[in-house]
Amino acid sequence: MTEKELLQKNIEEFSRLQTYMLLSDKTAEAYQVMKQRYIELKVILTASGLNLTDLDRIKE
């Protein structure tokens, strides 16, 4: 998998995960698990040089 493909995969997962989080109750255990992955993806994408200002809908 090329770096570009990996970046695309992470962006797609980040977007999909945010949709699930927005549909979930913030007090649910599943939300907390999703939040951990959200933070991981946010770090990965930021370290890759991507500006998340427009992509980040959760803003936590």
The residue whose two tokens read 């649910």 is 28
> pTM of the entire structure?
0.91
pLDDT means per 10 residues, the chain with 60 residues, are 95 98 96 97 96 91
Task: Report how far residue 51's alpha carbon sits from residue 20's, in angstroms, rounded to the nearest whole number.
Answer: 21
pLDDT on residue 5: 96
Task: Report how far residue 41's alpha carbon sits from residue 32's, in angstroms, rounded to the nearest whole number.
Answer: 14
- Other Cβ atoms less than 10 A from the Cβ of 50: the count is 15
Task: Report how far residue 21's alpha carbon sits from residue 36's, in angstroms, rounded to the nearest whole number.
Answer: 11
